[in-house]
Amino acid sequence: MNNPRTLSAMACVAALMTACAGAEPSTPASSVDSSGPAAALTDSSAASPLHVRELPAQTHAKLQHLSNHQQGAAIQDLLNHIDRLHADQAAQAADGAALARDTQRIGLQVVELQALVAAQAQVIAKQGSAIEQLQGKLAELAAVVAAPTGPGGGTPKPPAAPTNMVAVGDVWVDKYETSLWTRFDGAPVACGALQAAVSAAFAAGATPDSIYLGADGPFCKTTPGAAICAYRQYGSPPGKFDDITCGDYPGTFPPSGYATDLVYACPIEGVRPSVCTTWFQAAAACAASGKHLTTNAEWQAAVSGTYDPGPALGNNGDCNMSSGKVRVTGQASKCTSVFGVEDMIGNVDEWVGDWMVSGQASMTGK
């Protein structure tokens, strides 16, 4: 070396790495070439010299056997290694940033997926209830269209009637005055399932008032698992009989009939029929249940044979003409037509589907 007492910091590190790697000298110290590219790095005039006495004795001994050429090669190797380290660090930093972005994106996707799963679970639950209701309705329809033969292949049996309906000519007519219902879960109302729920509630001690109040009534508060607690009746709240106080229909079922939510019409035994109902509401509720308001001709046929005793004869099992109250359905054993339709005279007024010029006595509004 030109100056065995000093080395630049770069040469020191390179020489130290070479020494640590156990490199053996290939050229005697006496034949060192001072004209190589590393000569300037080992010159005593280099900036910030690092004295050899600061290195361990073993490294100092090995440095004395390195030629300038070997030192230059070692420095170049170190520079290449440092460049690779810098490149690796930059790549790792980029990978870390990308990983952080991916982690954040995955986290957001997980939150979205959780919300989607929760929403889908609600849809599935609602669909399950709707399917149950539709199955009940399909069973009713299947009973209507089926015409099994009698024993031994004799005369076919008449089709089974839909829930609480009787045949009048070629149509089915509600046996009882209609009441309007919804389910709290928004599923369609099957009249057969509703009648079963009402009958079970009566058997458990419920009253028409508590059934009307549904989940808010005393019966459902003491028997929360009862099937009737899934339903809500409208149009005949306890003790309310006039057009002003009895209309408790939801805002989505306005008097105009432009409903945004469906309300269903069912002839249910043992409850008060729904009143304070406009023609438009009645028509919409019948349509939601797969029915229509009877035409005037259908109504006139269905009422045939109903005995009208007049107000003077009272209401002891006959038509409810003068009590001033609406009685529950199923109590009109003496106010029944020849077809079995009850309370077509008295109790509450009824709409038909026809629009016509009214006579001297007419209904307006509700």
Q: Is the pLDDT of residue 2 over 60?
A: no
What is the signed CA dihedral for 164, 168, 171, 174, rounded to 10 degrees? -30
What are the distances in angstroms from CA 256 to CA 134, 220, 287, 365? 28, 32, 15, 11
Give the confidence band of 188 by pLDDT, cuts at 50, 70, 90: very high
Judge contact between 20 and 14, C-beta under 8 A: no
Tell me the C-alpha to C-alpha distance, in Å, between residue 226 and each of 143, 208, 217, 279, 312. 27, 15, 12, 33, 42
For residue 133, pLDDT beyond 70: yes
**Greater pLDDT, 141 or 112:** 112
Give the up-direction half-sphere exposure of residue 154: CA atoms within 13 A in the CB hemisphere.
Answer: 4
Using only C-alpha atoms, the chain has a radius of gyration, in whole angstroms, of 48
Q: Which of residues 214 and 354 earns the better pLDDT score?
A: 354
Judge contact between 256 and 341, C-beta under 8 A.
Answer: no
β 231-234/264-266 pair status: unpaired
Q: How confident is the model at residue 12 (pLDDT cuts 50, 70, 90)?
A: very low
Alpha-carbon span 14 to 24, nearest angstrom: 14
Q: What is the mean pLDDT of the chain?
A: 76
Q: Could you read off the pLDDT of 36-91 as tens digits, one per residue?
A: 433 333 344 444 444 444 445 555 555 556 666 777 777 888 888 888 888 888 88
Mode of pairing for the β-strands spanning 50-51 and 6-7? antiparallel
Q: Is the per-residue pLDDT at 365 higher than 70?
A: no
Confidence of residue 98 (pLDDT cuts 50, 70, 90): confident
